[in-house]
């Protein structure tokens, strides 16, 4: 997700879980996801899912949700 810095229009990015209803994003986790697991194999699988997320549209967080972030 794209976030605005509080003191500028510049964006920063974080991976959040996004929840969908009928393929429409309706909400997302307040905090970005963390990579913390007890097994190394679980971390690898999760990182694969995070890489897959990078191939999907980036959505704005906050007031602009669920608009898509368009790079300038």
Instruction: Dump pLDDT digits (tens) for 26-60.
Output: 999 999 999 999 988 889 889 999 999 999 999 99
Looking at the domain assignment, is residue 26 inside a domain? yes
Query: Structure pTM?
Result: 0.83
The answer, yes or no, to whether residue 5 has pLDDT greater than 90, is no
Q: Which domain holds residue 18?
A: 2-64
Paired sense of beta strands 11-13 and 2-4, if any: antiparallel
Mean pLDDT, range 7-19, rounded to an integer? 91
Confirm whether 27 is domain-assigned: yes
Whether residue 25 lies inside any domain: the answer is: yes
The structural domain count of the chain equals: 1
In a domain, 72, yes or no: no
> What would the 3-class secondary structure string for the chain be?
CEEECCCCCCEEECCCCEEEECCEEEEECCCCCCCCCCCHHHHHHHHHHHHHHCCCCCEECHHHCCCECCCC
**What does the mean pLDDT of the chain come to?**
92
Provide mean pLDDT across the span 16-26.
96
- Distance, C-alpha 43 to centroid of its chain: 17
């Amino acid at each position: 997700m794209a976030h605005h810095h509080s003191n500028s229009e510049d964006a920063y990015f974080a991976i959040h879980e996004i929840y969908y209803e009928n393929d429409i994003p309706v909400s997302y986790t307040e905090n970005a996801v963390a990579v913390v697991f007890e097994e190394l194999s679980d971390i690898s699988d999760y990182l694969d899912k995070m890489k897959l997320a990078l191939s999907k549209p980036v959505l704005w967080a906050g007031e602009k949700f669920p608009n898509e972030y368009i790079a300038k």
